[in-house]
Amino acid sequence: MRRTLQHPARIVPFAFVCAIAVGTVVLMLPVSRAGDGHAPLITALFTATSAICTAGLATVDTATYWSGFGHAMLAVLTQLGGYGIMTMATLLGMLVSRRLGLRSRLMAQVETSPGIALGEVRGVLMRAAVIMFATEFVTMLIVTVRLWTAYDEPFGAALWEGAFTSIQAFNNAGFALRGDGMLSFVADWWICVPLTLAVIVGGLGVPVLVEVTRELRRPVHWSTHTRLTVWGSLILLAVGFATVLGFEWSNPGTLGPLGVTEKILASFVQGTIPRSGGYNTVDFSAMDTDTLAVTTGLMFIGGGSASTAGGIKVTTFFLLAYVIWSEARGEPDVVVGRRRIAESTQRQATSVALLGVAVVAGGTLILLGLTSGVPFDRVLFEAMSAFSTSGLSTGLTATLNEAGQIVLAVLMFVGRVGTIAVASALALKTRRRLYRYPEERPIVG
């Protein structure tokens, strides 16, 4: 066990499991629940997993079930899971000792900043922390002032809701302090726009945020990863916006009763949120089947690599698109922006996508066996929401039995930690071959 946990790639999943266990114990304390007694084990476990994995799915009414202490713990767990457990521990250790050893650099690099040189890890951690807290602080100020002035909330209550909501937004979670979630703010630009922008920033990923802020005026110098993430995210945002606006324009259960500007705002929010945001300003259970189908696809793609979002990640999706395009054209190499993509990277992207499909398909089949009379598309939507840690729900999660909740908890864990990370943690034996077998080419396609 000691040798196994010495590898940074295996420490990260283990750290998430430990954090979920601690969160479960804390949420089971009577002080965490608003009512009498303590929360049941499965309820606490599911909620802790959802918070640590920044999903936002809930089997109980978050606003009324948990006490003020419970809400504070949800905020702490979400912040911890979003920034990264080992990354947060490394940052705190660095601030205390003002030193950053090789082991700490490796752990932080594996969890939050893959592709960043070891010598840059310290600067990346500090810059990522500044971006995170600055974004949350600005979002909190705007939301707090809006709730205080426009909704007549006491300043203390408005400040707490603004802080809680900003943490949930940047970390792409979806817990809310209101019984209806964010439905009452569907037409409020001062609430929806800041929260949605915070979701977008948090979903880009640490490497992209660091490079964009450093080379903001020189996008020509951006790396291939940053270009794929930024431009790919813009394309997916446009697809999500057009899908919701087009399919839901006259739907009486969603955008139908709203005005034109309100429909545009709601479409912008709901076109963005499926990429792992978690909030919803319209009722997803009333959405058209076509909208849910596109939303399911957007959830599967998710956000940027090394971000608070889930899914297979934007870079993986568009990299595979380039692979298909190059194969269709008969190109010997996969080239993105005058850069040849290594075969190992292509193999990793294929593995991530196929493992993601396998995990979601397996979870969906199990949930279908645990539910009766629920349409397949609704079950698939719920499983995809858990895997992508988007936190969206058509109402099925709250009706699942304990076995179904455990299935969703496992999907959230795999989606947040990553299919490759979980597979690496399970593959305890690794070895390097000193020989290669003869090559053969089976017929493909």
- Taking alpha carbons only, the member of 155, 22, 163 closest to residue 79 is 163
Q: What is the mean pLDDT of residues 377-394?
A: 90
Q: What is the mean pLDDT of residues 313-335?
A: 91
According to the model, what pLDDT value does residue 117 have? Answer: 53
Task: Give the highest mean pLDDT range of 87-96, 233-242, 369-378, 428-437.
Answer: 233-242
Confidence label for 95 from pLDDT (cuts 50, 70 and 90): very low
d(CA 205, CA 307): 4
* DSSP labels, 156-172: HHHHHHHHHHHHHHHTT
**96: its two tokens:** 């205390």
CB of 212 closer than 8 Å to CB of 303? no
Is the predicted pLDDT of residue 228 greater than 80, yes or no?
Answer: yes
Is the predicted pLDDT of residue 375 greater than 80, yes or no?
Answer: yes
Residue 278 class from Cβ within 10 Å (0-12 exposed, 13-18 middle, 19+ buried)?
buried
> Which residue's structure tokens are 């979003």?
82
Q: What is the mean pLDDT of residues 259-279?
A: 87
Residue 212 burial (CB count, 10 A): 17
Residue 120 CA, chain-centre distance (Å), reads 25
Is the predicted pLDDT of residue 8 greater than 70, yes or no?
Answer: no
Q: What is the pLDDT of residues 168-205, one digit of tens each?
A: 998 888 888 887 778 889 999 999 999 999 999 888 87
Spans of all domains in the chain: 4-426
According to the model, what pLDDT value does residue 280 have? Answer: 82
d(CA 195, CA 265): 12
According to the model, what pLDDT value does residue 103 have? Answer: 52
**Out of 117-121, 212-216, 337-341, which region has the weakest mean confidence (pLDDT)?**
117-121
Residue 420 CA, chain-centre distance (Å), reads 16
Q: What is the mean pLDDT of residues 342-361?
A: 89
Share of the chain above pLDDT 70, in %: 85
CB of 280 closer than 8 Å to CB of 291? no
Average pLDDT, the chain: 84
Is the predicted pLDDT of residue 147 greater than 90, yes or no?
Answer: yes
According to the model, what pLDDT value does residue 285 have? Answer: 82
According to the model, what pLDDT value does residue 97 have? Answer: 44
According to the model, what pLDDT value does residue 12 have? Answer: 73
- Taking alpha carbons only, the member of 304, 275, 270, 283 closest to residue 388 is 275
Q: What is the mean pLDDT of residues 350-370?
A: 92
Residue 129 burial (CB count, 10 A): 16
According to the model, what pLDDT value does residue 92 have? Answer: 47
342 φ, ψ (degrees, to nearest 5): -65, 145
CB of 185 closer than 8 Å to CB of 197? no
According to the model, what pLDDT value does residue 93 have? Answer: 47
According to the model, what pLDDT value does residue 6 have? Answer: 55
CA distances to 32, 173, 182, 249, 411 from 199, in Å: 27, 9, 14, 24, 21
Residue 59 class from Cβ within 10 Å (0-12 exposed, 13-18 middle, 19+ buried)?
buried
d(CA 403, CA 393): 18
d(CA 145, CA 163): 11
CB of 352 closer than 8 Å to CB of 342? no
CB of 272 closer than 8 Å to CB of 198? no
Q: Please indicate whether residue 337 or residue 169 has the higher confidence score (pLDDT).
A: 169
d(CA 194, CA 165): 11
